């Protein structure tokens, strides 16, 4: 909505967004007919790659309560990816949270799930942070979101989604992780990765939190977000003489609204009502396709960066769903 007032003394224009029953919004289905088989094959290809887990303790980043390690592992295509891992020093069996990165961002120990009674892991998917050895398309156009977009078998998010699955497999390989209490969280691209991780890992995931999730409802995305990232997909299609319908066909395999029905864990979503990067319309396209317990919070005056209070709500939601009683 844009409201304008004009007079001989002053002119003023106020722009604002509003929502009416967003949970009732419907979207056209574009799930490919081979969608399930496509991802089952990707998971089989991942399973054929020896993970070669390696931990490197970093004393300078450890705390009195938790050790810090750099994790190295091999993922789809034998690509090397890395993660930060914080583990309680006291022997035991602890709940775990996997945190996933936003587009262009990188994980740091200080930004992981902040509870000394948890195993906290922060994964840098391929092409992010310290996981650029084998795949590094950069972020400037054509960059990450267009990398091998013309081929659904090679598009970068096929490997990135499997990187997240490998990280969950790593957590499940550890004796100090209570595998009945594992959660995943992230914002923007990390929110999309959280949807995907929960979809592919099924009952292994017990709670999901996604803030302003990316990579959803691409046909609508092209209309409601005319600048980035839509402009890059359209420009890439033009340069490579691709019909936009073929680009959307590839993207449909990675659309979290198509992955949402596969999720079995409770999910909590945060939304910025004036977000022009990941507009609420794409957030709710995925949210409304969930078949599980779910809830959301909308921040009316927030864009792509929602208030810090959401992190507190995220931590409370995860602890509640993992059956952990707060001592605070």
User: How far is the C-alpha of 311 from the C-alpha of 289, rounded, in Å?
Assistant: 24
Query: For the structural domain made of 28-321, what CATH number should be given?
Result: 3.40.50.1820
The reported pLDDT for the residue numbered 198 is: 98
Q: How far is CA 316 from CA 113, 294, 319, in A?
A: 11, 14, 5
- Give the Cα separation of 90 and 85 in Å (integer): 15
- Two structure tokens written together for 38: 């496509």
Cβ contact 149:125 at 8 Å: no
Cβ-proximal residues to 5 (8 Å cutoff; 6+ apart), any chain: 11, 12, 13
Ordered per-residue pLDDT tens for the chain, 328 residues: 888 988 888 898 887 788 889 999 999 899 999 999 999 999 999 999 999 999 999 999 999 999 999 999 999 999 999 999 999 999 999 999 999 999 999 999 999 999 999 999 999 999 999 999 999 999 999 999 999 999 999 999 999 999 999 999 999 999 999 999 999 999 999 999 999 999 999 999 999 999 999 999 999 999 988 789 999 999 999 999 999 999 999 999 999 999 999 999 999 999 999 999 999 999 999 999 999 999 999 999 999 999 999 999 999 999 999 999 765 4
- The 10 Å CB-count burial string (b at 16+, else e) for 106-140 is bbebeebbebeebbbbbbbbbbbbebbeebebeee
pLDDT at site 328:
47
Which residues on neighbouring strands pair with residue 13, listed in sequence order?
4
pTM score of the predicted model? 0.95
């Amino acid at each position: 909505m844009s409201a304008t007032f004009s007079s001989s003394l002053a002119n003023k224009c106020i722009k604002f967004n509003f929502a009416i029953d967003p949970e009732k919004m419907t979207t056209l289905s574009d799930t490919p007919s081979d969608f399930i088989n496509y991802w089952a094959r990707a998971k089989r290809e991942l399973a054929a790659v020896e993970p070669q887990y390696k931990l490197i303790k970093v004393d300078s980043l450890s705390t009195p309560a938790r050790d810090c390690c750099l994790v190295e592992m091999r993922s789809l295509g034998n690509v090397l990816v890395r993660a930060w891992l914080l583990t309680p020093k006291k022997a035991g069996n602890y709940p775990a949270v996997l945190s996933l990165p936003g587009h262009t961002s990188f994980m740091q120990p200080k930004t992981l799930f902040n509870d000394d009674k948890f195993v906290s892991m922060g994964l840098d998917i391929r092409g992010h942070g310290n996981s650029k050895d084998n795949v590094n398309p950069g972020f400037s156009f054509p960059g990450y979101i267009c990398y091998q977009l013309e081929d659904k078998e090679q598009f970068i998010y096929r490997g990135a989604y499997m990187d997240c699955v490998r990280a969950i497999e790593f957590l499940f390989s550890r004796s100090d992780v209570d595998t009945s209490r594992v959660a995943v969280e992230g914002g923007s691209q990390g929110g999309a990765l959280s949807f995907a991780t929960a979809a592919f890992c099924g009952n292994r995931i017990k709670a999901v939190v996604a803030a302003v999730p990316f990579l959803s409802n691409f046909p609508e995305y092209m209309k409601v977000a005319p600048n980035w990232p839509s402009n890059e997909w359209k420009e890439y299609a033009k340069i490579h003489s691709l019909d936009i319908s073929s680009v959307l066909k590839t993207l449909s395999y990675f659309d979290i609204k198509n992955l949402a029905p596969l999720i079995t864990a409770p999910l909590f979503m945060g939304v910025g009502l004036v977000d022009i990067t990941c507009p609420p319309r794409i957030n709710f396209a995925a949210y409304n396709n969930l078949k599980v317990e779910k809830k959301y919070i909308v921040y009316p005056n927030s864009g792509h960066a929602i208030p810090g209070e959401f992190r507190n709500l995220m931590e409370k939601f995860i602890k509640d769903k993992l059956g952990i009683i707060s001592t605070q």
